Amino acid sequence: MRGEVFMRESIVSLKNVSFQYENQGRNALQNVSFDIFDGEWLAIVGHNGSGKSTMAKLLNGLQFPQQGEIMVCGIRLNEESIWEIRKKLGMVFQNPDNQFVGTTVQDDVAFGLENHGTPRDDMILRVEDSLKKVKMDHFLNQEPHHLSGGQKQRVAIAGVLALRPSIIILDEATSMLDPKGRGEVLETVRALKDEKSLTVISITHDLEEAAKADRIIVMNQGEVYREGTPEDIFSMDDELVQLGLDIPFSIKMSNAFRQKGIDLSKHYLSEEELVNELWTYRSKI
Amino acid sequence: MMEKMIIGRYVPAESLIHRMDPRSKLIIIFLFVCIIFLANNMLTYVLIGIYTFLMLGLSRIPFRFLYAGLKPVLWLVLFTLLLQVFFTKDGSLLYELGPIKIYEEGVRQGIFISMRFFFLILMTSLLTLTTTPIEITDGLETLLNPLKKVRFPVHEMALMMSISLRFIPTLMQETDKIMKAQIARGVEFSSGPVKERIKAVIPLLIPLFVSSFKRAEELAIAMEARGYRGGEGRTKYRLLRWKLADTMQLLILAILTILLILLRS
């Protein structure tokens, strides 16, 4: 099933992109090239300073690369096209509070629409509709300080959704949330992706989150270190740890089993798969 | 504490005054502040008093909220009254005790000026009690719109105000958190000599400032990512509706103005 993804056409492509922050000797991104395919869930992982957040900023024109070119939805990214591209490519940031602009939930969702000059009648429909999609429609007039982190992030998703984008970037969007909030947010994005055939790019250092993606790109020192399916990536084991990434518990567990000579059916397992494998293990032998 | 001072001023209720357009409320308050100076005799002051209490009645704001707003300024009203009573030396002498002489005009002026003060405070607190801060911001933005012609950044001011309002509770929560963190490290905020207590505020303010700057930067990035590029070409989600009640209120104020002009001496 995952093989299908690679047959689809590229929606974002980076060609030989290099980027350097001012006053910094080292390139934050070094000759990066890859494609993101229409409708896939791509996780970009890497430790702090690996260049993964810089990538998010480049993708919607918050920064421009010194070298190379970026194409989003067939449009070449430059100073003139950024506003067009920002409509197609929505971003959810890390801190739930620092991206909530409106005084109430509905004002915040409307903020992006106001910026793009959407007529008011259309705006009302879109605000209502997108809040329904993230199950926050009962909170229309709620003020942000009465919401949980997960709820605020869902409002942020609604704000992105209202602009009817093709791509959603989650820039560490779940890293400040508790496990419940994290689950809520990822579930919401997953459901939306399936319903609207969105492309999701999740930038994260949480490999557990990345495990649910169709494809993973591992960044290190501003370069693409490895690219592949979660199974491929998790078979790197110790290499990942050396890159400063923490392997999910279920993987660590199955590795430990393997070392004890207990063979499990496949290398990469989600927590649920692992549990299933374990309680049926006895009946297999 | 601060939350109560700024946000908690608004008292939600279903009343004619609450439902009014913030623009008409702002205009009325502005005009009221001007026409109150027309009053110069008992009759005109009574008229203004009737008008003020009529508005208060229509707003259905419980008296204790009004009193809470009045309390801090009440002594000021009293002070002006005494000042006028003791220092105006016009009209016939009413009372004399050693160097203190009280004249008829002084008593008259004192009462009038403190009444003026009193009504002004009541009416302006009525505005903040019946209108949410964001409504006031919206109202101001539309009313000040003509100033755009002289390059006054109306939209930016309004956005600044609404973002400040949105972040007040967030920063209050943060202050609370930092305070607790510092107390846990042994900082005394509520006891000790005044000098020490002032010093203790520094480890509270610095982290607060640092995080506010960080917030501002992140918010700016998020706003830009969501397509914000100034007021040009922007549509508005919040809609202000001018209703019949608003026109009526303005008419009532006009009638009051005419009466004041006719009846003043």
Angle between helices A179-196 and A149-161 (to 10 degrees): 20
Q: Which positions in chain A touch B169 (Cβ < 8 Å)?
A: 143-145
Q: Which positions in chain B touch A91 (Cβ < 8 Å)?
A: 222, 225-226
Positive or negative torsion for Cα A134, A139, A144, A146: negative
Name the E strands within chain A: 10-19, 29-37, 41-45, 67-72, 75-76, 89-92, 167-171, 199-204, 215-220, 223-228
State residue A269's pLDDT score: 65
Judged by average pLDDT, the poorest of A41-45, A79-83, B71-75, B201-205 is: B71-75
CA distances from B70 to B64, B79, B120, B123 (A): 10, 14, 11, 11
Predicted confidence (pLDDT) at residue B1 exceeds the cutoff of 50:
no
Q: Which of A178, A176, A158, A177 is nearest to A168 (CA)?
A: A158
* Cα–Cα distance for residue pair B109/B81, rounded to 1 Å: 8
Rg (CA), chain B: 24
State residue B23's pLDDT score: 95
* Cα–Cα distance for residue pair A172/A167, rounded to 1 Å: 16
State residue A2's pLDDT score: 47
Helix (H, G, I), strand (E, B) or coil at A224: strand
Res. A69 pLDDT band, cuts 50 70 90? very high
Please report, for chain B, the start and end positions of each structural domain, with discontinuous segments joined by +. Answer: 2-131+241-263, 146-225
CA distances from B138 to A104, A266, B127, B236 (A): 14, 60, 14, 10
State residue B8's pLDDT score: 46
State residue A285's pLDDT score: 59
pLDDT in tens, B157-180: 999 999 998 898 899 999 999 999
- B215: contact with A, CB 8 A cutoff: yes
Q: Which of A237, A189, A269, A201 is nearest to A14 (CA)?
A: A201
- Mean pLDDT value across residues A52-56: 88
When scoring A83, A84, A114 by the number of chain B Cβ atoms within 10 A, the one with the most, hence best to mutate, is A114
State residue B4's pLDDT score: 45
CB B43 within 8 A of CB B102: no
CB-facing half-sphere around the CA of A201: CA atoms within 13 A: 29
When CB atoms are compared, the residue of B163, B169, B239 closest to A145 is B169
Q: Which positions in chain A touch B215 (Cβ < 8 Å)?
A: 95, 97-98
The chain B residue lying nearest A118, using CA atoms, is B235
- Mean pLDDT value across residues A188-212: 89
CB B256 within 8 A of CB B46: no
State residue A47's pLDDT score: 85
State residue A266's pLDDT score: 67
B206 Cβ neighbours under 8 A, 6+ residues apart: none
A39 Cβ neighbours under 8 A, 6+ residues apart: A5, A8, A193, A197, A198, A199
Res. A25 pLDDT band, cuts 50 70 90? confident
pLDDT in tens, A219-261: 998 899 999 998 888 877 778 888 888 777 877 787 788 788 8
Superfamily of domain A2-99+166-247: P-loop containing nucleotide triphosphate hydrolases (3.40.50.300)
Q: What percent of chain A has pLDDT over 90?
A: 53
DSSP state of A206: B
Residue A69 among the catalytic residues: no
- β-pairing, A167-171 vs A67-72, is unpaired
- Mean pLDDT value across residues B205-209: 93
CB A243 within 8 A of CB A46: yes
* Cα–Cα distance for residue pair A166/B191, rounded to 1 Å: 58
Catalytic residue among A69, A143, A172, A227: A172
The chain A residue lying nearest B231, using CA atoms, is A115
For the entire predicted model, the pTM comes to 0.82
pLDDT in tens, A111-162: 999 999 999 999 999 999 999 999 999 999 898 989 999 999 999 999 999 9
State residue B2's pLDDT score: 44
Predicted confidence (pLDDT) at residue A96 exceeds the cutoff of 50:
yes
Maximum Cα–Cα distance across chain A: 66
Judged by average pLDDT, the poorest of A85-94, B24-33, B77-86, B142-151 is: B77-86
Q: Do B227 and A112 touch (CB under 8 A)?
A: yes
Interface of A with B (CB under 8 A): 57, 60, 62, 83, 86-87, 90-91, 93, 95, 97-103, 106-107, 110-120, 123-124, 127, 143-145, 159-160, 163
Predicted confidence (pLDDT) at residue A4 exceeds the cutoff of 70:
no
pLDDT in tens, B5-47: 444 478 888 899 999 999 999 999 999 999 999 998 999 999 9
CB A88 within 8 A of CB A165: yes
Residue B252: which region, alpha, beta or left (left: phi > 0; alpha: psi -120 to 50)? alpha
Q: Which positions in chain A touch B163 (Cβ < 8 Å)?
A: 101
Exposed, middle or buried: residue A184 (CB in 10 Å: 0-12, 13-18, 19+)? buried
